[in-house]
Structure 1
Amino acid sequence: MTANIDTNFAKKAGLDLAALQDHIRAVYTADDRPWVIGYSGGKDSTCALQLIWGAVRALPEDERRKPIFVLSSDTLVETPVIVNYIDDTLAAINAAAADQNMPITGQKVVPVTSDSFWVNLIGRGYPAPSKRFRWCTERLKIDPANAFIKNRVAEYGEVVMVLGVRSAESATRAQVMSLHKIDGTALSRHSTLPGAFVFTPIEALSVDDVWAFLLQNPSPWGSDNRDLLAMYRNAQAGECPLVVDKQTESCGNSRFGCWVCTVVTKDKAMEAMIDNGEEWLEPLLDLRDELAETQNPDRKREFRDFKRRDGSVTFVGDSETSIPGPYLFAYRKELLRKVLEAQEQVNAKAPPGEKTVLIQVEELREIRRIWRSEQGDWGDAVSETVKAVTGKELPAEAADGFEFQADDAKVLAEVCSKHDLPPRLMAQLLEAERSVRGLKRRTLIHRKIASVLEQEWRDETTVLNERKERLEKNKSTSSNPLFETKS
């Protein structure tokens, strides 16, 4: 069922509050598709949610039949002030919705542990994100939000994504918003998700309209919008939108977003917050700046392996220069220590109620698993580092009945030394065998062994010398008249 909706409404409404809420009610009651509101905690998504709340609350209770999910995406590396603000707000939203008999549920999604920032950066050694290798957005933002939306599509058949985006933000945003518009309705098709549609109720509003509404209309869930304004003033920042596709611009410059973001030159929002009294966040800015320095072309070789993650060595064209691979294992261990130290320092100086977890226990366990299987870290550097920095034991996880220990690593090192073999090579082969212990079908073991043996196990000097000799030989051959092709 589709209601008779003025599809040009958004372009001419401005901040006519009554007309805007009538428009929202018309779209809400036009069909049975549930709504998923992208909520980032910033001004635009807060404005959209308040407008929708007021519009739906004005309906008779029997017409508030469609569920509304308020979806917030936490990358697990968001600025702590924003994380705490959103957590408190979602709790207030759920409590107020229950009291007011509203069909609204606040929910936060996070990346799966294997996709988290620290598991990829510290565990697997991915370099800090850059404009050329921005591996973070899809894993941390797009995938968690899309998984939630896909589950709702599977449950209800179709859903409507409600986004607090405005065409006035940029020409690119306006172009993207108009690209998938459906004639005769107020909705657009989602650019990548089948069964998902997009509604942008505040697209015509200016930034002044948004603040005028927020400061003149109290929050229906009891928050004080002046606190939100104070956050913006302290950070001189913009809102980081819920990202659900690759066309939506991710955070950057002075927007609220991930405190580890190295895609931009400087984190102006974090710097402004520290300058405005949030000095307890300074260890995070220092760590972020260190990660950014690892992208310095003159220093990459200090932090990065000469091999890729698959054990291969790739060169730049016909040169002797290898393309840097993941962070060196030694540097990853140093980074883990610095993250845990920053966590201790931040919590020691944080205001009451601003408890901050920079790295989750589940992430530490996954890093430990990766290091053991890929680096032969049988000495358990993760647990040792956690104990040394925090004074606490890393909570034990269920084991598969057998694990190599530090003493085993010493024995292996002695044996490998006698036979001139890399201990990590043998450790990976033993881990491959251990991973299939007890299985009736062991067909994977051959592929695992082959994968290990196909890696480059020689040292960097040997590999580069071989490359140099090969290039010189090719140059000599190509310049020899005996090998020239006659026309």
Structure 2
Amino acid sequence: MAGNLTLDREALAARLREIQDVYRSDARPWVIGFSGGKDSTCTLQLVWKALQGLPEAERRKPVHVISSDTLVETPVISRYIDETLARISSAAREQGLPVTTHKVSPNTDRSFWVNLIGRGYPAPSRRFRWCTERLKIEPANDFIRSRVAEFGEVVMVLGVRSAESATRAQVMSLHRIKDSPLSRHSSLLNAFVYAPIEALTTDDVWTYLLQNASPWGNDNRQLSQMYKNASGGECPLVVDTTTPSCGNSRFGCWVCTVVQRDKSMEAMIDSGEEWMQPLLDFRDLLADTQVPEAKLRYREFRRRSGHVYFIDRTDRPAPGPYTLEFCKTLLERLLATQVELQRNAPPGEDTLLVHDAELHEIRRLWRTERGDWADSVPTIVERMLGRSLDWVAEDEVALGAEAGILLQEVCEEHGVPVELIVRLLDVERASHGLKRRTTVHSRIEEVLRREWRPLDVVVDERRRKLREEGALAETDGAVREPIPAPWLPFPEVEDAAS
């Protein structure tokens, strides 16, 4: 169906017939992406209405309604979606429809807080939007793959519209199956895409929603009011990188820093949700770390790979992950924000910002990868939350606080980087007790390849090199290869993005 559409009675009937025809055409299960916003709500209502119009014997094929929970959703929206999914599930059972609901979330080791606070990933930006794939694409695609493994093929039903995303429209056109309303999924094998509202305008969507009651008992006028209370659109279920950004979205993550200001959350607070102000304050703290001149105040000058990369033809290092000390500050502020929300939020709001499993994983990463021999996470949690988790005893995983202090003193006395010795000790502990230790030498070599010198020494060497080449110039924003670490007689070659 091409062009814009006025959704009159005749056009609506044709749309419902097409949905019925596609549904009955094969045995492939449907997976409907549901974000709770206007487009996904319109899509689900149309599918629901089409299924109601089929004889009971013809509506046997399962329809899975999945909603993505990034674990950092705005609390008001999270509650709205939870309540809506519960109503959908209950109404489907009562009305005899083959519809089930599912929430998909990232694995703990891929969650936002584990990456940001545990590994030190900087707050997402337009140039490094690491959150979308880990928090949205992977969980949704894992669910789709599980249905493919069970049924062989699957049809994704998405509330995407050509009018909202030219890129998406182009991709769908490129993968369109001839003489079929379906497209092949751009990246998932044996997955197909059906977009029943692809040609609808925004006015079409709202007209349908406001003139047709929700079959699961929601109030679409409440949904309309939610849009009026804040700027921005909805954040669709994301299943590939062609889906439009949900930055500045009404239905998005409260930690989103892809945009400079979160006008949506500001508008929500102005419209009466003052208890959410601590969320905005924390989000703005993350946004402040992206100011170019302040980056090295919060971030390491080395990348996670251990190397130093410089902005093209300059002596300015391209900053790496957040420092461990700043990650400690972030954890303290996050827990303080959670406590304040729990104290001031209205009854029924979800004020849990970070889960216990995430705190355990953050602790593990700090202990095993970031040299936190003081074991700071239990101390911070006890101080901020007033309780202790069932922490795992890790006698052999990392140095204790006293051993760490002693190691610091010895390293300073001999002029050896303490982080280097900690890494070498980690290699030894990981190899201890193994019958074959053939990889230990390569692992030691990998540690020695990292850059361990202080920043001023590394920058001085960079300046000398640039002066010799006559190449010192203003940056063009590009990042180039690192200078070789001096611990080995030969240079390394590594991807600058790692």
- 1:352 and 1:321 map into 2 onto residues whose CA distance is 50
Instruction: Tell me how far 1:222 sits from its aligned partner.
Output: 2.3
What's the CA shift for 1:447?
Answer: 3.0
Q: Name the residue aligned to 1:243.
A: 238
Deviates more, 1:248-257 or 1:29-38: 248-257
State the Cα distance separating 1:376 from its structure 2 match: 1.3
2: distance between equivalents of 1:265 and 1:123?
A: 24
Match of 2:449 in 1: 454
Q: Secondary structure at the match of 2:293?
A: coil
C-alpha change, 1:439 and 1:239, in structure 2 (3 Å) is same
1:398 Cα deviation after fit:
7.0
Is the counterpart of residue 152 in structure 1 residue 147 in structure 2? Answer: yes
Distance in structure 1 (CA, Å) of the matches to 2:253 and 2:274: 18
- The answer to whether structure 1 residue 396 and structure 2 residue 379 are counterparts is no
Query: Which residue of structure 2 aligns with residue 230 of structure 1?
Result: 225
Q: 1:295 aligned to 279, 284, 290, which one? A: 290
Q: Among 97, 120, 130, which residue is 1:102 paired with?
A: 97
Q: Which residue, 100, 106, 114 being the options, matches 1:111?
A: 106
> 1:69 aligns to what SS in structure 2?
strand
Q: Which amino acid aligns with 1:375?
A: R
Q: Tell me, yes or no, if the aligned pair for 2:31 and 2:157 is still in contact at 8 Å.
A: yes
Matched, 1:14 2:16: no
Q: For the structure 1 residues 170 and 247, does the alpha-carbon distance in structure 2 shift closer, same or farther, using more than 3 Å as the test?
A: closer
Structure 2 counterpart of 1:142, one-letter code:
I
Q: Following TM superposition, by how much is the alpha carbon of 1:404 offset from its aligned partner in structure 2, in angstroms?
A: 3.7
For the residue of structure 2 that corresponds to 1:334, the secondary structure is: helix
Contact map agreement 2:171 2:186 (CA 8 A) in 1: no
Please say which of residues 31-40 and 136-145 is displaced more in the overlay.
136-145
The corresponding residue for 2:179 is: 184
Per the alignment, residue 339 of structure 1 pairs with 334
Amino acid in the other structure paired with 1:291: L
- 2:86 pairs, out of 81, 84, 91, with 91
In the alignment, the residues of structure 2 paired with residue 48 and residue 373 of structure 1 have an alpha-carbon distance, to the nearest angstrom, of 46
Q: Is the 8 A contact 1:10 1:202 kept in 2?
A: no
Q: Partners of 1:24 and 1:45 in 2: how far apart?
A: 15
Assess if the C-alpha contact under 8 Å between 2:148 and 2:191 holds in 1: yes
Q: Return the alpha-carbon distance in structure 1 between the equivalents of residues 230 and 15 of structure 2.
A: 30
Deviation at 1:389, TM superposition (A): 0.9
Whether contact under 8 Å (1:152, 1:158) holds in the other structure is yes
Partner of 1:327: 322
Matched, 1:120 2:109: no
Equivalent in the alignment of 2:129: 134
Task: Give how far 1:218 is off.
Answer: 2.5
SS at match of 2:163: helix
1:167 & 1:48 partners in 2: Cα distance?
Answer: 14
> 4+ residue runs of structure 1 moved beyond 6 angstroms?
none
**Worse-superposed segment, 182-191 or 221-230:** 221-230
For residue 411 of structure 2, what is the aligned residue in structure 1?
A: 416
CA RMSD of aligned residues (A): 2.2
- Residues 58-79 of structure 1 deviation map (CA, whole Å, 9 limit, x = unaligned): 3222211211111111122221
Quick one: distance in 1 between partners of 2:394 and 2:323? 27
**Structure 1 CA distance for aligned equivalents of residues 187 and 300 of structure 2:** 36
Partner of 2:486: none
* Range that drifts further, 110-119 or 220-229: 220-229
**CA–CA distance in structure 1, aligned partners of residues 323 and 263 of structure 2:** 29
TM-score (normalizing by structure 2)? 0.88
Question: Contact between 2:121 and 2:321, CA under 8 Å: does it hold in 1?
Answer: yes
2:348 pairs with 1:353: yes
How many pairs were matched up? 469
| Counterpart residue number, 2:370 | 375
Counterpart CA distance in 1 for 2:386 and 2:248 is 37
SS at the partner of 2:292? coil
Separation in 2, partners of 1:369, 1:431: 13
Q: Aligned with 1:71: secondary structure?
A: strand
Matches of 2:218 and 2:236 in 1, distance apart? 20
Alignment-derived partner of residue 36 in structure 1: 31
Q: Tell me how far apart the structure 2 counterparts of residues 445 and 15 of structure 1 sit (CA, whole Å).
A: 71
Aligned to 1:363: 358
d(CA) in 2 for partners of 1:99, 1:52: 17
- Which stretch has the larger CA shift, 466-475 or 363-372? 466-475
Q: 1:79 aligns with which of 71, 74, 77?
A: 74
Between stretches 394-403 and 64-73, larger displacement belongs to 394-403
User: C-alpha displacement at 1:48, in angstroms?
Assistant: 0.8
**Structure 2: unaligned runs, 5 residues or longer:** 472-498
TM-score (norm 1): 0.90
Aligned residue in 2 for 1:214: 209
| 1: CA distance, partners of 2:410 / 2:167 | 61
Query: Does the CA contact (< 8 Å) of 1:10 and 1:203 recur in 2?
Result: no
| Cα separation, 2, equivalents of 1:445 and 1:257 | 45
User: What is the CA distance between 1:252 and its match in structure 2?
Assistant: 2.0
Q: 1:170 to 1:309 in 2, by over 3 A?
A: closer
Give the structure 2 partner of residue 63 of structure 1: 58
1:400–1:230 Cα change, 3 Å: farther
| Residue pair 1:252, 1:263 contacting (<8 A) in 2 also | yes
How far did 1:295 drift?
1.3
What secondary structure sits across from 1:364 in the alignment?
A: helix
Cα displacement (A) at 1:322: 1.7
Question: Is the deviation greater in 346-355 or in 9-18?
Answer: 9-18
Structure 1 residue 419: deviation in Å?
3.2
Asked if 2 retains the 8 angstrom alpha-carbon contact of 1:14 and 1:204, the reply is no
In 2, Cα distance between equivalents of 1:145 and 1:447? 37
Letter in structure 1 aligned against 2:7 = G
Displacement of 1:28: 0.4
Does 1:264 find its partner at 2:259?
A: yes
CA contact (8 A) 2:227 2:250 kept: no
Q: Percent identity?
A: 59
Q: Secondary structure at the match of 2:207?
A: helix
Deviation at 1:422, TM superposition (A): 2.6
